[in-house]
Chains A and B, each alone.
Chain A
């Protein structure tokens, strides 16, 4: 069963966070091991497996990027494993420049400005995915997702950099 089906949701790129939460909470109410403390071992094991599968599904679908990657894989787009090197020279160049910019940002304000730019970029790219999925353009989907993955990592780095700056000035 795929993650969408497990939560009783349509396999779609757009997902209301509130409806995902609702579906997840309702099913966890049914399957969480806390509900099975006094039940026989076999039932407990079953509940634990169900609850674990629900958690995996929820975790995957909650974040828009991991949801998009998951849906792409369902549709037959082959994605390289997370953390693999970038094979797109254009993206590689962009990444190197951005990293340099982050490195040079000396204040939390400067880091915030970069992070805001990345967030806006991610938002735009995510909403652009819809038409690519509609067209079924697998190479384009793959390229867009790889770039989004890189942007996500960059946002993470910006966060770490901000924390360091905050710590050194606090």
Chain B
């Protein structure tokens, strides 16, 4: 549109500032996900038409084709259990050996051959699918929801991850965002995001603990809040501990009861999924009742199961105790006592299980804070950080590495290079040497974890430093540097100091994706994304159209007198056509109407330009003008 817009010098708006793509905060949870946006420091979760903020993290590939996410996917569970995946977050960056079974059966069908040395893949609806692409479907759905709610394209996001996520799981999360077409501004740890939402909301200062028990992960972080600084002092957790375990305990019990009554010969994946769904419902009921019961029907054979809260609490006591042990450990790491903690924030849906807040209160000697919805608080914090990163903000998040990073040395022993709870970003180096005369290569094996032996830690990457000049054993000085960026992602490089032979790698986690996998996935996503693309182009056309209408209206209000009646009528007609087109779904018509309006408004624009120049020049002496030109 060629309407001349005249701005005061220095007030010219930046291209796309304020109306380009927005940055949102996303809590990509095991059970539910939430997307939120912050404006001027006020975060809000984005709801669907029915007012729900939570999107169940469930993806379905229906036999009729397409992909469903959220409630729609969950509804398909009874009919097509094999085409529906829940809790995929537990598989991010994981191998097959990391998975939990129910009654010896996995609630997933694993793609044969996957997950031994790479990330496990699932077999769904006859196709192998990686947890990354399944997570990407959830992210795409969240992005769509945000675009619908905000009526603007959304291309950037802060995504939260459990603080205790290792490098492989973080990388997998980043990859999923890429597949979903989102640029990740920052991966923020979930408890840190929650603290941000709390701290900014309440203006709290002092030492705070965040106890985050979600569907599949547990994190406990200690933070110091001080004048806009959120400093994580220590963090700990378990990436395979959460409400899913509570569900599993109930499901196991029900399946065992059926077995005792001789109802089932064999339990399959579908039966496990049905039992888990019922178990979850019963668990939720026990949050405000003393007892509940459920009816489980498998292969047409029903059974009835009663459960009291006391029984349930006995079943989950060991899990809750484990969280309390971890919390104590974190306090010890930070050299703090429970008495020094000013407040503890509860995060995650599983903190609704009454035993959880009771045990937390007992450990810390104070009642936990729950005044922000524990299901939304993480997304709200992520949204605040997204705004701070794109719009500038005064808050400062200082986070730490959750797990120690090290190298394998002789005998399978781990030499730690970056200890846990080191503030990030960080770059630390350690020198190693050769152990044989004339050795010209050195194998570098990068591991993550707290244990002393390599076998007990997670293997992140292996590479070889080649071309070391032959020297006597112990003469070479090989410096291995670990750099962890602000997202918690690791890069390792090695250098022979005497000769400067250098080798650098981005750590490709052993459980991560190969470049080929990633390329395939991006391709698949593009192939399947035609519908997405059309919707996106339509939205962009509408946004552009609205911009043009606003500019035209502003110009007409100011300089409408420059037009005669018939010209004005023509312009109004063009305007009405564009407005009508924007109410419809035909992108070509919107573009055509916008183009027509632009042609119609050209003479008006030219007249405004003339007038603008005349006004600028009037009343100025030649000298003044010359000196201005010289500026």
Query: Could you list which residues of chain A lie within 8 angstroms of chain B, going by C-beta atoms?
Result: 21, 25, 28-29, 32-34, 37-38, 48-49, 51-53, 55-56, 58-59, 159, 163, 166-167, 170
User: Who on chain B is nearest to A29 by CB?
Assistant: B396
Task: Give every chain B residue within 8 A of A170 (Cβ-Cβ).
Answer: 321
Within 8 A of A (CB), among B296-344: 321, 325, 328-329, 332
Q: How far is the CA of A51 from the CA of B422 in the complex (A)?
A: 13
Q: A29-B396, A32-B396, A34-B396 known; A52 and B329 CB under 8 Å?
A: no
The total number of A-B Cβ pairs within 8 Å is 57
Tell whether, in the assembled complex, residue B428 and residue A38 are in contact, meaning their CB atoms are under 8 Å apart: no
Task: Give every chain B residue within 8 A of A53 (Cβ-Cβ).
Answer: 427
Contact of B397 among A34, A58, A59, A167 (CB under 8 A): A34
Q: A34-B396, A38-B390, A163-B329 known; A25 and B229 CB under 8 Å?
A: yes
Task: Give every chain A residue within 8 A of B427 (Cβ-Cβ).
Answer: 49, 52-53, 56
Task: Give every chain A residue within 8 A of B226 (Cβ-Cβ).
Answer: 21, 25
B424 CB within 8 Å of chain A: yes
User: Who on chain A is nearest to B487 by CB?
Assistant: A33
Could you show 22 A-B contacts with beta carbons less than 8 Å apart?
Answer: A25-B231, A25-B396, A32-B396, A32-B398, A33-B485, A34-B186, A34-B389, A34-B486, A37-B389, A37-B390, A51-B425, A52-B425, A52-B427, A53-B427, A55-B422, A55-B423, A55-B424, A55-B425, A55-B426, A56-B428, A159-B332, A163-B328
Interface size class of B (residues with CB under 8 A): 20 to 34
User: Who on chain A is nearest to B227 by CB?
Assistant: A25
Q: A34-B186, A48-B486, A170-B321 known; A59 and B422 CB under 8 Å?
A: yes
4 extra A-B contacts, CB within 8 A, seeds A37-B186, A37-B389, A59-B423: A21-B226, A33-B485, A166-B328, A167-B325
B388 CB within 8 Å of chain A: yes
Task: Give every chain B residue within 8 A of A29 (Cβ-Cβ).
Answer: 396
Task: Give every chain A residue within 8 A of B424 (Cβ-Cβ).
Answer: 55
Task: Give every chain A residue within 8 A of B422 (Cβ-Cβ).
Answer: 55, 59
Q: How far is the CB of A97 from chain B (nearest CB, A)?
A: 25
Task: Give every chain B residue within 8 A of A166 (Cβ-Cβ).
Answer: 328
B185 CB within 8 Å of chain A: yes
Q: How far is the CB of A154 from chain B (nearest CB, A)?
A: 15
B483 CB within 8 Å of chain A: yes
User: Who on chain A is nearest to B321 by CB?
Assistant: A170
Task: Give every chain A residue within 8 A of B390 (Cβ-Cβ).
Answer: 37-38
Task: Give every chain A residue within 8 A of B385 (Cβ-Cβ).
Answer: 34
Q: How far is the CA of A34 from the CA of B186 in the complex (A)?
A: 8
Task: Give every chain A residue within 8 A of B328 (Cβ-Cβ).
Answer: 163, 166
Contact with A along B372-412 (1 / 0, CB 8 A): 00000000000001001110000011100000000000000
Task: Give every chain B residue within 8 A of A33 (Cβ-Cβ).
Answer: 425, 485-486
Task: Give every chain B residue within 8 A of A34 (Cβ-Cβ).
Answer: 186, 385, 388-389, 396-397, 486
Q: How far is the CA of A51 from the CA of B399 in the complex (A)?
A: 12
Task: Give every chain A residue within 8 A of B485 (Cβ-Cβ).
Answer: 33, 48
Contact of B426 among A21, A56, A167 (CB under 8 A): A56
Contact of A58 among B325, B388, B423, B425 (CB under 8 A): B423
Tell whether, in the assembled complex, residue A163 and residue B332 are in contact, meaning their CB atoms are under 8 Å apart: yes
Q: How far is the CB of B228 from chain A (nearest CB, A)?
A: 9
Q: How far is the CB of B521 from chain A (nearest CB, A)?
A: 25
Q: How far is the CB of B200 from chain A (nearest CB, A)?
A: 15
Contact of B398 among A28, A48, A163 (CB under 8 A): A28
User: Who on chain B is nearest to A47 by CB?
Assistant: B425
Task: Give every chain B residue within 8 A of A59 (Cβ-Cβ).
Answer: 422-423
Contact of A37 among B185, B229, B397 (CB under 8 A): B185
Task: Give every chain B residue within 8 A of A28 (Cβ-Cβ).
Answer: 396, 398
Q: How far is the CB of A27 from chain B (nearest CB, A)?
A: 11
Q: How far is the CA of A55 from the CA of B484 in the complex (A)?
A: 11
Q: How far is the CB of A23 from chain B (nearest CB, A)?
A: 13
Task: Give every chain B residue within 8 A of A51 (Cβ-Cβ).
Answer: 425, 486
Q: How far is the CB of A58 from chain B (nearest CB, A)?
A: 7
Task: Give every chain A residue within 8 A of B483 (Cβ-Cβ).
Answer: 52
Q: How far is the CA of A55 from the CA of B229 in the complex (A)?
A: 15
Task: Give every chain A residue within 8 A of B185 (Cβ-Cβ).
Answer: 37
Q: How far is the CA of A166 from the CA of B324 in the complex (A)?
A: 12
Most chain-B CB neighbours within 10 Å: which of A34, A52, A59?
Answer: A34
User: Who on chain A is nearest to B329 by CB?
Assistant: A163
Q: How far is the CA of A49 from the CA of B481 in the complex (A)?
A: 13
User: Who on chain B is nearest to A63 by CB?
Assistant: B335
The list of the 7 closest CB pairs from A to B, nearest first, reads A55-B423, A33-B486, A52-B427, A37-B389, A52-B425, A55-B426, A52-B426
Q: How far is the CB of A59 from chain B (nearest CB, A)?
A: 6
Task: Give every chain B residue within 8 A of A49 (Cβ-Cβ).
Answer: 427
Within 8 A of A (CB), among B415-466: 422-428
Task: Give every chain B residue within 8 A of A55 (Cβ-Cβ).
Answer: 422-426
User: Who on chain B is nearest to A167 by CB?
Assistant: B325
Q: How far is the CA of A27 from the CA of B396 in the complex (A)?
A: 11
Task: Give every chain B residue within 8 A of A25 (Cβ-Cβ).
Answer: 226, 229, 231, 396
Q: How far is the CA of A49 from the CA of B397 in the complex (A)?
A: 17
Most chain-B CB neighbours within 10 Å: which of A25, A32, A52, A163?
Answer: A52
Task: Give every chain A residue within 8 A of B486 (Cβ-Cβ).
Answer: 32-34, 48, 51
